[in-house]
Amino acid sequence: MTASRTPTSEASTGELIAQATDDISTLIRNELQLAKHDLATSGKRLGVGAGMFGMAGTMALYGLGALIAAGILGIAEVLDAWLAALIVGGGLFVLAGLAGLVGKMRVSRVAEPPKERVASVKADVAAARRGAAS
């Protein structure tokens, strides 16, 4: 707010409207700056969190590889090493196939948005555009 404002009791309607418009513009500008600051802070936290999730996933993948190698070495105590690796690899392919089938079934069950709702949203957008144009 500026110090050169006309006191409200002496201001004309036009001056009051101009002051209100200026106040609203200032308020919106300040709210946008605050939102940008909040988003920047949240973005930094999300970035660090995502990096930690990535590191956890990488370590879990290495751990899984070590467990698979341990399984192969354990079976290799009883069978030939190539046969142990073949058995573990085949088991992993079976698990991958089952996971893929379950994923496909889940994705295919996702319903499309109702056509009436999509049409309603399109009508709302068109009405808003017509209102903004006039």
Q: 133 by DSSP, 3-state: which? A: helix
pTM over 0.85: no
At 132 the pLDDT is 67
Amino acid identity of residue 44, one-letter, is K
Residue 8 is given by DSSP the state: T
At 64 the pLDDT is 95
At 1 the pLDDT is 47
Low-confidence ranges of the chain (pLDDT < 70): 1-9, 113, 132-134
> CB of 91 within 8 A of CB of 104?
no
> CB of 81 within 8 A of CB of 90?
no
Q: What is the DSSP string of 57-106?
A: HHHHHHHHHHHHHHHHHHHHTTS-HHHHHHHHHHHHHHHHHHHHHHHHHH
At 73 the pLDDT is 97
d(CA 111, CA 99): 21
Instruction: For residue 105, report the phi and psi dihedrals to the nearest 5 degrees.
Output: -65, -40
- Indicate the domain borders of the chain: 8-78, 80-134
